[in-house]
Structure 1
Amino acid sequence: MRFVLQRVSKASVLINKETTEAIGGGLVVFMGIHQDDSKTDCDKWIQKILKLRLFADDQKPINRSIKDVDGQILLISQFTLYADCQGQNRPSFRQAANPELAQEIYNYFEGKLKQAWPQTKTGQFAAHMDVSLVNDGPVTIILE
Structure 2
Amino acid sequence: MRFVIQVVSESQVTVDGEVKGKIGKGFMVLIGIGHDDTKEIADVMVKKMLGLRIFADENGKTNLSLDKVDGQLLLISQFTLYADCRHGNRPGFTDAAGPELANDLYEYIIAKCKEQVPVVEKGVFGADMKVSLTNDGPFTIVLDSKDLIK
Which bracket does the TM-score occupy, shorter chain normalised? over 0.9
Describe how 1:1-144 pairs up with structure 2 within 5 A: 1-144=1-144
Alpha-carbon deviation of 1:119? 1.3
Structure 2: runs of 5+ lacking an equivalent: 145-150
Alpha-carbon deviation of 1:120? 1.0
Distance 1:61 1:88 in 2: 43
Alpha-carbon deviation of 1:136? 0.4
Distance 2:40 2:108 in 1: 10
Distance 2:61 2:75 in 1: 24
Distance 2:4 2:61 in 1: 19
- How many pairs were matched up? 144
What is the one-letter code of the residue matched to 2:9? S
What is the one-letter code of the residue matched to 1:117? V
Distance 1:133 1:107 in 2: 22
Are the counterparts in 1 of residues 20 and 124 from structure 2 also a CA contact under 8 Å?
Answer: no
Structure 1: runs of 5+ lacking an equivalent: none
What is the one-letter code of the residue matched to 1:70? D
Alpha-carbon deviation of 1:68? 0.7
What is the one-letter code of the residue matched to 2:111? G
Q: Over aligned residue pairs, what C-alpha RMSD do you find?
A: 1.0
What is the percentage of aligned positions where both structures have the same residue?
Answer: 51
Which aligned runs of 4 or more in structure 1 are off by greater than 2 angstroms?
Answer: none
Alpha-carbon deviation of 1:87? 2.3
Alpha-carbon deviation of 1:47? 1.3
- SS of 1:111's equivalent in the other structure is helix
**1:45-64 Cα distance to aligned partner (Å, 9 max, x none):** 11111110110012243110
Distance 1:41 1:113 in 2: 14
